[in-house]
Amino acid sequence: MTIPNRRAMILLLVLSGMIISICMGLRQSLGLFMRPMGVDLGITAAAFGFSIALQNIVWGLAQPFSGALADRYGARPVIFVTALIFALGLLTLMVSASFPGGLIVAGILLGIGTTGFSNLYGAISRVTPVERRSQTVGLVAAAGSLGTMVLAPFGGWLIDGPGWRTALVVFAALGASMALLALPIREAREKVTAEKKVPLGEALRQAIGHRGFLFMTLAFFACGFQLIFLTTHLPAYLALCGVAPGVGATALGLIGLFNAIGTYIFGQLGARYSQKHLLALIYLLRTLFIASFLLAPISAASTLVFAAAMGFLWLGVTPLVTGIIARVFGLSHFNSLYGVVFLSHQVGSFFGAWMGGLVFTYSGNYNFAWGALIVIGIAAFTLQWLMDERPPAPQPRLVPA
């Protein structure tokens, strides 16, 4: 790699880490606004929660389209536009009580606006040698995980000081700054053009007809299902168990810290060992930790140990899933195929949050929900372990007689 190319790659990695960190930090801090908006605007927790759930499902539905645009035109213009949409969504949240359906509009805008940063994984994969791809994606994803550690306390300080409206304006300005950070990004397209160009429709048909792709996609549903259930309902479950309220907030902070550590380590391991087996082991270990947490007496200490363990396994899936897609299906339509897999994750996220609320509403406890997490986790481990990771066989072309 020449010095100019090396400098361009370093710039790409730094900018990608900053963009991912800002986006993830902002979206994971939105829960801070539920209480003050409820007090000032009369917005119920259910209405605010549905807006966040809508954001997740819209993110999943829009990601394949965002990925297809990034594959065709590059990540830079897609990130530029989606960052501005994300900022608009935050401003809409500020005035959401001023017109009917305001929270729904805000949720849709935030969901679409979140799709841009995921395309950076494709840009990084295209400029990274195969032997370094897993480590590099893991490093950037780990750096991006640190955004919540900074922006969540900063957002809380703004809400307690100048107020939640000022906080949303500042958050919107930070969201718009992602558009400016995207401008210097330059992508190397030569690796894509060097591959045999397959039309997007044919690439999607090959992937959907590939048993390994389907297994990995279905397993990724469990990832979203388990994780969003925990971030949404763990504090309420701890309250039922008599654990002090502050422990839930501390647990979420530990998840963020150990997430950065685990993502980096799994990125390193993915370059040396089977990525599909590492991915399967993450699903299995998550499930075993969930079962162990439920079997042991629920206390502040056991909760914090559980949070650290789950955080370590939180986003370690990212460098592994992206590595498998790039290796098995190539880079030509990487973002589009990742978008399809990620859609499954977001559908799981939606049902994980929704299922937990329904179970608690009708039964008064989370017993059935925890059981569902364990069953789905075991199914995900089995599917991922049995994944066929051989590239799809080339389709014969029909020659006219």
> How high is the pLDDT of residue 249?
65
pLDDT-derived band at 399, boundaries 50, 70, 90: very low
Backbone angles phi, psi at 79, to 5 degrees: -65, -40
Type of residue at 260: A
Cβ atoms of 307 and 246 within 8 Å: the answer is no
Q: Work out whether the CA dihedral 40, 45, 49, 51 comes out positive or negative.
A: negative
Cα(330)–Cα(323) distance, rounded to whole angstroms?
A: 10
Mean pLDDT in residue range 29-45: 79
Q: What is the DSSP string of 165-213?
A: HHHHHHHHHHHHHHHHHHTT-----HHHHHSPP--HHHHHHHHHT-HHH
In terms of Cα–Cα distance, which of 126, 162, 164 is closest to 326? 126
Cβ atoms of 171 and 364 within 8 Å: the answer is no
> How high is the pLDDT of residue 2?
42
- Give the three-state DSSP class for 283: helix
Range from 32-41, 136-145, 170-179, 314-323 that averages highest in pLDDT: 170-179
pLDDT at residue 148 is higher than 80: no
Q: Work out whether the CA dihedral 211, 213, 219, 221 comes out positive or negative.
A: negative
Q: How many CB atoms within 10 Å of residue 317? A: 24
- Which domains are assigned to the chain? 1-185 (1.20.1250.20), 200-391 (1.20.1250.20)
Q: How many CB atoms within 10 Å of residue 293? A: 18
Mean pLDDT in residue range 262-291: 94
> How high is the pLDDT of residue 189?
54
pLDDT in tens, 342-354: 999 989 988 887 8
In terms of Cα–Cα distance, which of 127, 125, 84, 91 is closest to 106? 91
CB neighbour burial string for 61-95, b if at least 16 within 10 angstroms, e if fewer: bbbbebbbbbbeebbbbbbbbbbbbbbbbbbbbbe
Range from 12-26, 116-130, 206-220, 275-289 that averages highest in pLDDT: 275-289
DSSP 33: G
pLDDT in tens, 207-254: 888 999 999 999 999 999 998 888 777 877 888 899 886 676 677 778
Window from 88-97, 193-202, 262-271, 380-389 with minimum mean pLDDT: 193-202
pLDDT in tens, 307-334: 899 989 988 898 899 999 988 988 888 8
pLDDT-derived band at 398, boundaries 50, 70, 90: very low
Type of residue at 3: I
- Decide which of 220 and 4 is more confident: 220
pLDDT at residue 160 is higher than 60: yes
pLDDT at residue 380 is higher than 60: yes
pLDDT-derived band at 363, boundaries 50, 70, 90: confident
CB neighbour burial string for 380-395, b if at least 16 within 10 angstroms, e if fewer: bbebbbebebeebeee
- Dihedral, CA atoms, 237, 241, 245, 247, nearest 10 degrees? -90
> How high is the pLDDT of residue 196?
54
Cβ atoms of 322 and 119 within 8 Å: the answer is no
pLDDT-derived band at 126, boundaries 50, 70, 90: confident
pLDDT-derived band at 395, boundaries 50, 70, 90: low
**What is the percent of the chain with per-residue pLDDT over 90, rounded to a whole number?**
35
pLDDT at residue 340 is higher than 60: yes
Cα(154)–Cα(164) distance, rounded to whole angstroms?
A: 12
> How high is the pLDDT of residue 1?
44
- Decide which of 191 and 272 is more confident: 272
Mean pLDDT in residue range 371-396: 89
pLDDT at residue 283 is higher than 90: yes
How far is residue 395 from each of residues 163, 206, 209, measured CA to CA in Å? Answer: 59, 9, 12
Residue linked to tokens 């389907």: 214
